[in-house]
Chain A
């Protein structure tokens, strides 16, 4: 009766009651669980009529007398066509589409059935994301997605990994963008892995071109968790993890006695009694075993009109170097409400305050510190360490903190209209409030003779900073979905706007009145005044206020895409995006980014029916162009600089008088970097898809690469000044493979998979119309030496320097061989590569590539009842690493162990030159180039889920214990801490400057679901 009333009411309001119509209603449920399916399409062939099912699966549709058929469809289910007849209530049970491939994949601005995809997209699901105990979910992509490389630029807590999709296509920022629930971001450090449902990596142009100017480096779409429709009882999940980290290996260095002996060879008579020299293992002193704690609590569920997910996470990582740590709280709120059958509103919000403590760079200092210096004197004070300072003192006096509060989220609405249309509008924000504080007390380390060492800070110093960034992104799309017979259309059009602004204030001062944390504030005028102190206490000395040029821009985009499928066999996708960016001058502001793709589901062809072994086969091909605009907005402008450095001192009172002049020139002619990419892929399944494979060939060319180039000194931009120009073309091509076998034998489930990609990276052109350079010099080591030269025919950031051919054994050999004026007997022989009979800078040559030619991972899983063992291996080959930390030696630093095998006379060594503290033998040469290949057991997990019979008694759904090792072992020839490191600067890639190592981690965890 109530229902009738409601129907009558609706009929009256809509004012469209027509006598001849009949009303059909019913409920659509899934066959597996009997639950109602919301959002299923109910359409009438030959008519524009249609509706969608409500939250509980119920539907209602008016049919005219002539209309007698309903088509019920829902993504992931087999479409049914139903003859209505005289029935007015028709309940429909939809069956899941058995084809394994018909999982739903998140694509840019929508979702698609995997079988309908024409692009190359890899999904990583939630279970994989929780395997790596890291604050950053991107870590879990390492070794998991063909074509994706994840590096660590530093192992410090809170350091974000460097992610590369299909190689390095630009000299500029090569990081992909992240799209978290529709909000486009550059960084996901705020996201708790436990809140993530899935990550999809969009690799080819067909998938990424819809992101236009921003997709050239790949797109990673992240969908966070949501309550499941129909799951009315709240599900509570709790996880607790405790991990211990250790440095994986230490670097072999000489000991105190050996260092003394080597010093005596270089400067005779420095140390008289080698046996009396102390020996300090500095690495041992700075590394510690440190814990990670990780707790998650989440609740999710749904009612008939809403879905919800609440998550709370706490992550605390202490660093393996003291005084480094990262701590983060995450609060996640995802909600969706059905306002009417056609209008949905919702929000996805993350609030994440975090705190990071940064240790000073003691890892490099410990590497350089002479071993014959004691860390402490007998009285317990810090011992002086020449040239690098005492690393322990540096740690003791360091107080460097960053705090951030990040709010990322969006509110959205979906409105269905005119039956086949859906309007989606999302307003997203990314608010980032950061504070930094750095305090160094006044201190002095004394030399053994009681004089002050250079490691001192005469006045306590304090600097503080705040920065405030905000981004808003408003996206509006209209989708039209239509199935006409064997033709399926999905058309998308949209308009988006984004604005990012930022402002920072940094202040610095000195002479804090007391060395107490609660007094670390700066005032001007001072509240404290000490007439005996010069300068004044709590002295505010500098203020710097401005805008981070990387975070100040706006974008407008128009987007369009059509997907067309015929007979579920032939697929076509075409997309187009037009972007306008404030980063370019008005004349160069707009860029157009088209793509085109075709797919063929060969398996659906009738001729495949007889080939029983093959249970899936699809081929696809795509082409498109995508842009990259990741440069800071000031690069187009030529600016004025006015500061202390441009001001003279005049007058007898030494007054700093203001001056202003031209800063480094900008380039108003900058245009977009454009990447065009071709992709050909095959997906295949055998034996009921127990064996699956996916193969892609890709060819990516980036042209007009924006790159900061050194320019002629005579332009007057100053030493080392760089100007951004569109100056290059780079090729990345390779083959991606992902093969897996899974089966179950007598209750034993197992899965083995191997995936990876080959990569050929080559610079096709360098140098723009300005004729600045045919090469790109990079990898500056800080002592004027440049370690990389990118030029045509070589990979980006190729190492270059001298080739060596042994050690000069005697004067006769020296005199008979072309040699540098500085070379003597016992020194390295540099090869005269240009055969001009002289050793000059022109003999520097290609020494290897920092980019691997093969990146791979293989994964294994075995499960029996509640027990599960998983192992993930990951590795790469074909790349080199430059051990730069060993090269830069302006002062006498400690030596790596191999120096012990030095040349000491004819025949003693033909690889290791005579001992020296620096100079000729430390020019960049193949002596410092090492093999970057490695194989690592990335993670090994043993998990046990308690039998359901027990847990039911405990009134708990599931209880799981697990033990896990991360970075368990690494097989590598590289002598440094860890061979997997990268740099956000692609011209300085795989150069080991002595960074914070990546740790081994051992974890125990408990997961309970109520």
Chain B
């Protein structure tokens, strides 16, 4: 009996083994669960929309904002590190006193975030043309993607000069740095395509409000040409924006950056955000990073206006109080008390070097942290375009035209009080240039413009030199980690290593 049972059992077992062996290829094919593969995306019009939307989402990435902390304003003469004295002392502090090194905190974050954004744009640019969908939609998505790629590279070329120029989703492994000129010509090509193919702002409704527009593309082109010192083109594009009839100045300066001006007449391109804690919930931490520290607890309090900046406003310029939150100030019914770990006044050798105050441009109504995440950062607003038009006109020898646009900005700043901020009548090109740059400082304060304005107008050495600036700071160091990973194929910027 035993033997026959044995035989039967073993025969069954071997039979089972045979069956199993036949199906083993299927057994080893495990599809990724809950995951879509890159090879199957984007393949439809709705995929194209999703992929295009995802490029914009990068604008809410904390790292997108100069690596997280507002280092561009901190490096300028407008603000200091901020927060409490010891907070991020060794990470953000060195940007304030120009003692950063090639491994400085934030550099790698910014670099990687920009390329992450560029990749999202490259995906649309590479794959949308292969999707079967109406040409008009294709062009729209391509133009949005190229607009965004253009402004991403524009930030990178200003921060680092020539960077590896990636224009496909799958770049070669051996890419080296392009020249700054090559990056600029890519930026101009992208923005020009966008300017030709995007609709004007007024044609967007509903959930399309916030997408890139023709006006935004032209405004950024004007700015790019200012940086490349092509003032003819700068003037041309700035004037096209002005003459488009799409934009105007807000009557209240607070609305130029505030919540009531979200998607308003002055806003040319802004970053939409929800008042929710966390990027994944639709928030943008840009304003939280700079929000009031302590009471009310709105944020971390980085980028603190310097006494020199506070005192640099013309007499009674309402933009001073409109740009800076002082202790005791009541905003939206909430009194600003401030941070217990931050001295109200800091003196060195009897001189006041810092008073506790905060950036009002990022303020949103409320008394808590999440509401601060809902601030819409303006990347381009009409006042900037007017001042660019003014600056380019002056450089092109059209001082009358320059004064027209400059005085439009001053008129709004006056907000009806004719006793202050008189019209400018200066026509000397060099003197007027200084006046325009000074106007930019006060109109666009703490919006990330000042440092690069000083660098592009060759004023950085004289203005920032006393604060520690040296010429090598005209470009930031390439993150050491990137050079290390490239085995040195990526080279360092002048002055940073050798």
Contacts and interface: CB of A to CB of B under 8 A. Distances in A.
A552 B30 contact: yes
B29 interface: yes
A711 B485 contact: yes
A714 B171 contact: yes
A214 to B, nearest CB: 15
Contacts of B42: 660
Given A649-B282, A771-B174, A423 B294 contact: no
Given A649-B272, A712-B486, A659 B123 contact: no
B59 interface: yes
Given A890-B87, A917-B86, A719 B1 contact: no
A660 B28 contact: no
21 contacts: A416-B6, A545-B34, A546-B33, A556-B27, A633-B32, A639-B37, A642-B36, A649-B284, A654-B273, A659-B54, A659-B56, A713-B112, A714-B175, A715-B119, A716-B118, A773-B484, A777-B485, A784-B103, A840-B102, A841-B480, A890-B91
Contacts of B333: none
Contacts of B341: 386
Contacts of A773: 484-485, 487
Interface string B269-280: 000111100111
Given A417-B10, A556-B27, A783 B91 contact: yes
Interface string B33-52: 11111110110000100111
A786 B105 CA distance: 12
Contacts of B274: 649, 654, 656
Contacts of B101: 820-822, 841
A582 B26 CA distance: 10
Interface stretch (A324-332, A447-455, A616-624): A447-455
B30 A554 contact: yes
B378 interface: no
Interface string A101-122: 0000000000000000000000
B227 interface: no
A633 B278 CA distance: 29
A713 B368 contact: no
A374 B232 CA distance: 66
B2 A342 contact: yes
Most buried by A among B13, B37, B102, B498: B13
B209 A718 contact: no
Nearest to A821: B99
A633 B31 CA distance: 9
A146 B61 CA distance: 51
Contact of A648 (B53, B263, B479): B53
Nearest to B119: A716
B91 A495 contact: no
Nearest to B209: A651
Interface in B223-264: 262-263
Given A659-B53, A714-B175, A644 B113 contact: no
A68 interface: no
Contact of B38 (A14, A639, A784): A639
Nearest to B280: A644
Contacts of B284: 649
Nearest to B51: A661
Contacts of A495: 17, 20-21
Contact of A654 (B33, B108, B374): B374
Contacts of B372: none
B487 A774 contact: yes
Given A784-B105, A784-B108, A918-B89, A638 B37 contact: yes
B340 A448 contact: yes
Contacts of A425: 13
B281 interface: yes
Contacts of A775: 484
B63 interface: yes
B350 interface: no
Contacts of B337: 451
Contacts, number: 306
B207 interface: yes
A632 to B, nearest CB: 10
Most buried by B among A13, A451, A547, A784: A784
A892 interface: yes
A648 B60 contact: yes
Given A417-B7, A634-B32, A640-B38, A647 B282 contact: yes
A772 B272 contact: no
A416 B21 CA distance: 24
A655 interface: yes
A783 B89 CA distance: 13
A663 B35 CA distance: 11
A643 B281 CA distance: 9
B482 A712 contact: yes
Given A341-B2, A654-B272, A772 B485 contact: yes
B1 A712 contact: no
Interface of B: 1-3, 5-7, 9-10, 13, 16-17, 20-21, 24-25, 27-30, 32-39, 41-42, 47, 50-57, 59-61, 63, 85-91, 93-94, 99, 101-103, 105-106, 108-109, 111-113, 115-120, 122-123, 163-164, 166, 169, 171, 173-175, 206-211, 262-263, 272-275, 278-282, 284, 294-295, 297, 337, 340-341, 368, 374, 479-482, 484-487, 497-498
A718 B35 contact: no
Contact of B90 (A650, A712, A922): A922
Most buried by B among A553, A640, A774: A640
Interface in A295-354: 340-343
Nearest to A922: B90
Contacts of A546: 33-34
A751 interface: no
Contact of B120 (A476, A638, A661, A711): A661
Nearest to A269: B343
A720 interface: yes
A589 interface: yes
A580 interface: yes
A783 B175 CA distance: 28
Contact of B89 (A649, A651, A919): A919
Contacts of A633: 30, 32
A770 B28 contact: no
Contacts of B5: 340, 342-343, 415
A896 B12 CA distance: 70
B419 to A, nearest CB: 36
B113 A891 contact: no
A716 B122 contact: yes
B50 A660 contact: yes
Contact of B263 (A418, A449, A652): A652
A417 B3 contact: yes
A436 B147 CA distance: 46
B41 A640 contact: yes
- In the complex, the 7 A-B pairs of residues with the closest C-beta atoms, listed nearest first: A716-B119, A659-B53, A644-B280, A919-B90, A659-B54, A648-B56, A649-B272
Contacts of A784: 91, 103, 105-106, 108
Contacts of B17: 476, 495
B281 A644 contact: yes
A645 B171 contact: no
Contacts of B6: 342-343, 415-418
A51 to B, nearest CB: 10
Contacts of A642: 36, 50, 54
B297 A719 contact: no
A714 B41 contact: no
A476 B17 CA distance: 8
Contacts of B93: 919
A387 B85 CA distance: 12
Contacts of A716: 115-120, 122, 166, 169
Given A647-B57, A654-B274, A714-B115, A449 B210 contact: no
A451 B367 CA distance: 13
B2 A639 contact: no
Nearest to A553: B30
Contacts of A647: 53-54, 57, 282
